[in-house]
Structure 1
Amino acid sequence: MFVDSHCHLDRLDLSARNNELTSVIDAAASRDVSRMLCVAIDMEQLPYMLQTVKRFDNVYASVGVHPLHVADGIPERAFLLEYAADPKVVALGETGLDYFYSQDTVELQKESFIRHLQASADTRLPVIVHTRDAREDTISILRQHADPEVGGVLHCFTENWEMARQAMDLNYMISFSGIITFRNAEALREVVRQVPIESILIETDAPYLTPVPFRGKPNEPQYVVEVAQCVADIKGLRIEEVAEITTNNFDRLFNKAAAK
């Protein structure tokens, strides 16, 4: 069985599926994708997102504000703690730093990131971190404010081995998306080779970043199988081994989900 550790089910265009999210969940199940984590990116859509996933026992949720949404407001700690108490919520985030798309909001991004990490320490829920072109600041903030006993994950990882190594030293896992299947991603595949399988999660980031050979189609949780196959090919493992180990990694990190 596979777990899609990061997707955005509330952002899917369901027009080709009769506006039925159930068909997406069923398509994933048909490929042995048994569970998925639907990740929040803003405060405004959070209630709708939670209402959407509560219909499905095998879908979990997070609470957080993406760094590219901080201009719309950053969450108060009390807001994060309130939603973190929801039985469906198993993580904080996604949060973090994105200097590639936005350098105008750097200070807001940092403050929001710190608040998520503080809420993580309070709730004992792991943090889902988005980081792009902000290696030094991301690691620095994690060192200063993250609880290493709780940990988290650097999702949709596209940075270098040195950053991955430093994050793992802080008890953070590394999650790879369909990007690793792209033709021009050899440098990232080399990072996959170096990261121990016990520290790897797999994800789709659906509806974005559809893996090969489905490029051009909207991404869905079912395509996490292609990510797993790519990891297996790189590591010289059977895909069944990757499925088992990454599922165990998911349960170890998101232990509130594992307890359900």
Structure 2
Amino acid sequence: MLFDTHVHLNADQFEDDVDEVIERAKSEGIEWMNCIGFDRKTIKRAVELAEKYEFIYASVGWHPVDAVDMTEEDLQWIEELAGHPKVVALGEMGLDYHWDKSPKDVQKEVFRKQIHLAKKVKLPIIIHNRDADQDIVDLLKEEHAEDVGGIMHCFGGSLEIAKECMKMNFYISFGGPVTFKNAKRPKQVAKEIPMDKLLVETDCPFLAPHPYRGKRNEPSYVKLVAEQIAELKELSLEEIAQQTTANANKLFCIT
């Protein structure tokens, strides 16, 4: 019983066959999924999928790449949706220094606003981080994000950064890259993360695990991520599945 804590079944890549993709995941033992909305279109679709499927939950937030597009009305809408019974977190939010659509200061402002909102509505946050490790950690500390905690999504940083985040009540989530043959650091870090701070995800349709690298990712492949972590930690798949699912249920207050 696996919990894919980060899916984008609301993406255009699943427009024609989302129901079949969901059925494949269920047949592979993926019992729960968290569908992430990050702009107007994807937030709406994430909530719709959560309403349609009992085992799908939604998270709503604003992606840092599109921070320059977020309005106060968008933030107010996210606050309203935070009260939805199937919305379990805010995000994804964070900093992305790879793309240059949104200036860094705008990204930071939008990130801070969403952390403030999460504290107000008492929901955990899902962090997107690309090429911004230290700024992410510093901002989380400044805003006392430990009050809500959350997930470091598709973690690719150092063990030192992971430890800083875990001190602030964050779980470390691994996706497809941990299975890549040349991914030395993700493997080393995953091996060291305590079981009670570990989560698994796909980030589908992106970052498909080996041997599907470069193809469309889907939730059924989260099993490959869990198998890789089980191998690294010299544990059974069942032990990884049980603990990561328990961790996700605890974080998202799912009983």
Q: Into which bin does the TM-score normalised by the smaller protein fall? A: over 0.9
CA distance in 2, matches of 1:191, 1:173: 13
Matched residue type, 1:172: F
- Whether the 8 Å CA contact 1:177–1:204 is kept in 2: the answer is yes
**In 2 relative to 1, CA 228–220 (structure 1 residues): closer, same or farther, beyond 3 Å?**
same
Equivalent positions of 1:107-186 (< 5 A) are 107-186=105-184
Tell me the residue number matched to 1:7. Answer: 7
Amino acid paired to 1:28: A
Residue identity matched to 2:91 = G
Matches within 5 A, 1:166-245: 166-245=164-243
Checking the alignment, whether the CA contact within 8 Å between 1:168 and 1:199 is kept in structure 2 is yes
Distance 1:88 1:200 in 2: 22
Letter aligned with residue 21 of structure 2: V
Q: Could you say what secondary structure the match of 2:95 adopts?
A: strand
The superposition leaves residues 145-184 of structure 1 with CA deviations (integer Å, 9 ceiling, x where unpaired) of 1342421111011111111000000001110000001111
Question: Is contact 1:228–1:243 with CA below 8 Å preserved after alignment?
Answer: yes
1:21, 1:103 → 2: CA distance? 29
Cα distance in 1, alignment partners of residues 112 and 182 from structure 2: 34
| Contact preservation (8 Å) 2:68, 2:102 | no
Q: Pick from 2, 7, 18: which aligns with 1:21?
A: 18
Deviation at 1:11, TM superposition (A): 0.7
Larger CA deviation: 245-254 vs 95-104: 95-104
Aligned counterparts of 2:198 and 2:12: Cα–Cα separation in 1:
25
Unaligned runs of 5+ in 2: none
Contact 2:64 2:94 in 1 (8 A): yes
- Residue segments in structure 1 that go unaligned for 5+ positions in a row: none
1:103–1:169 distance in 2 versus 1, CA, 3 Å:
farther
Q: Of 27, 30, 39, which aligns to 2:27?
A: 30
Distance in 2, matches of 1:12 and 1:233, equals 33
| SS of residue in 2 equivalent to 1:217 | coil
Provide the aligned length of Structure 1 versus Structure 2.
Answer: 254
Amino acid at match of 2:37: A
CA deviations on 1:76-106 (whole Å, 9 max, x unpaired) are 5433211101112110000000112238511
Query: Which 10-residue stretch deviates more, 165-174 or 70-79?
Result: 70-79
8 Å Cα contact 1:132/1:159 also seen in 2: no
Regions of 4+ moved over 4 Å? 74-77
In the other structure, the counterpart of 1:91 is 89
TM-superposed CA distance for 1:242, in Å, is 0.1
Partner of 2:58: 61
Deviates more, 1:239-248 or 1:69-78: 69-78
Q: Secondary structure at the match of 2:49?
A: helix
Aligned to 1:102: 100
Percent identity reads: 38
- Contact 1:12–1:206 (8 Å) recurs in 2: no
Aligned equivalents of 1:32 and 1:53: distance in 2?
Answer: 18
SS of aligned partner of 1:45: helix
Q: Is the 8 A contact 2:61 2:90 kept in 1?
A: yes
TM-score (norm 2): 0.94
Cα distance in structure 1, aligned partners of 2:175 and 2:206 = 10
- Partners of 1:74 and 1:108 within 8 A in 2: no
* Mapped partners of 2:203, 2:42: distance in 1: 17
Pairwise CA RMSD of aligned residues?
Answer: 1.6
Q: Is the Cα–Cα contact under 8 Å of residues 66 and 102 in structure 2 kept in the other structure?
A: no
1:142 maps to amino acid? L
1:73 and 2:70 matched: yes
d(CA) in 2 for partners of 1:131, 1:3: 21
Q: CA deviation at 1:43?
A: 2.4
